[in-house]
């Protein structure tokens, strides 16, 4: 039976979720603008990026109501953020680029990794499941964003570490929890680890090996 009792987060977790939601929403706005979507399309893409991973996490954990349904004010805040960002970019004649989208995406990745893993730990999940649910929280919003924008999700295709960064950050959270670190410290450590790894992979162009097609031995990345 679904757990219909409203669930609560600590003040630290709420702060992390707010910042992570804003970061992923901005990545969605930038990506929607890059694809020349209209205002409705940009808001939808931003919403998928911001809420998609947490929604999948809550469904897998059978948590009800979904976090953005329980906190409906966040939906209004998302709409305000989208409108404000679109007006700002138009007024400043800013040209959204893929690289600009990657920085808020890296921040959101780290924060949602930490938060998703912590929520799964609080729900009594085994360590490996908690880490996977942290990855789901962090990665699936970006996956849905890219799918709607008719892109192969960057998490699977750009060959820079992405889900791996989240995986490492999730284990930092598990180890911090096992060491009885204060919750805020564990969240900061896990988020900083995943964000720093992703930012470094973008800045230094770290690459994972590509699939060798046709037995030619070529693993060049376009």
Q: How many CA atoms within 13 Å lie on the side-chain side of 98?
A: 6
- Candidates 183, 178, 168; CA nearest to 131 is 168
CA–CA separation, 104 and 220 (whole Å) = 28
Answer yes or no: is 3 within a domain: no
Answer yes or no: is 185 within a domain: yes
Provide the residue range defining the domain that includes 134: 11-208
Number of compact structural domains in the chain = 1
Gyration radius of the chain over CA positions: 18
CA–CA separation, 155 and 56 (whole Å) = 16
Could you say which residues of the chain have pLDDT below 50?
1-6, 217-218, 221-222
Answer yes or no: is 91 within a domain: yes
Write down the pLDDT at residue 154.
79
Answer yes or no: is 171 within a domain: yes
Phi, psi of 122 (to 5 degrees): -60, -30
- Candidates 207, 101, 203; CA nearest to 149 is 101
Write down the pLDDT at residue 5.
39
Q: Is the pTM of this model over 0.75?
A: yes
Backbone CA torsion sign across 81, 43, 21, 162:
negative
Answer yes or no: is 214 within a domain: no
Instruction: Count CB-CB contacts under 10 A for residue 179.
Output: 9
Write down the pLDDT at residue 214.
58
**173-176 contact pairs (CB < 8 A, 24+):** 173/113, 173/114, 173/117, 173/118, 173/121, 173/130, 173/131, 173/134, 174/117, 174/121, 174/127, 174/130, 174/131
Containing H/E element for 195? helix 183-203
Helix orientation angle between 11-34 and 98-122, rounded to the nearest 10 degrees: 150
Write down the pLDDT at residue 117.
96
Answer yes or no: is 4 within a domain: no
Answer yes or no: is 108 within a domain: yes
Answer yes or no: is 222 within a domain: no
> Burial of 66 by CB count in 10 Å (0-12 exposed, 13-18 middle, 19+ buried)?
middle
Q: 162-192 pLDDT, tens per residue?
A: 889 999 999 999 999 999 999 889 999 999 9
Backbone CA torsion sign across 158, 160, 163, 166:
negative
Write down the pLDDT at residue 4.
44
């Amino acid at each position: 039976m679904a757990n219909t009792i409203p669930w609560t987060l600590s003040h630290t977790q709420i702060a992390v979720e707010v910042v992570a939601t804003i970061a992923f929403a901005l990545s969605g706005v930038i990506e929607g603008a890059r694809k020349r979507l209209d205002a409705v399309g940009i808001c939808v893409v931003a919403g998928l990026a911001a809420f998609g991973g947490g929604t999948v996490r809550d469904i897998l954990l059978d948590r009800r109501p979904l976090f953005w349904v329980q906190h409906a004010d966040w939906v209004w805040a998302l709409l305000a953020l989208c409108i404000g960002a679109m007006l700002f970019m138009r007024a400043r004649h800013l040209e959204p680029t893929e690289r600009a989208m990657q920085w808020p995406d890296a921040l959101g990745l780290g924060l949602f990794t930490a938060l998703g893993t912590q929520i799964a730990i609080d729900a009594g999940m085994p360590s490996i499941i908690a880490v996977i649910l942290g990855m789901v929280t962090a990665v699936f919003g970006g996956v849905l964003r890219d799918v709607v924008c008719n892109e192969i999700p960057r998490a699977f295709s750009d060959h820079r570490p992405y889900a791996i960064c989240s995986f490492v950050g999730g284990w930092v959270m598990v180890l911090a929890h096992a060491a009885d670190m204060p919750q805020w410290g564990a969240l900061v450590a896990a988020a900083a680890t995943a964000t720093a790894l992703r930012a470094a992979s973008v800045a230094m162009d770290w690459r994972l090996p590509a699939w060798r097609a046709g037995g030619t031995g070529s693993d060049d990345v376009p």
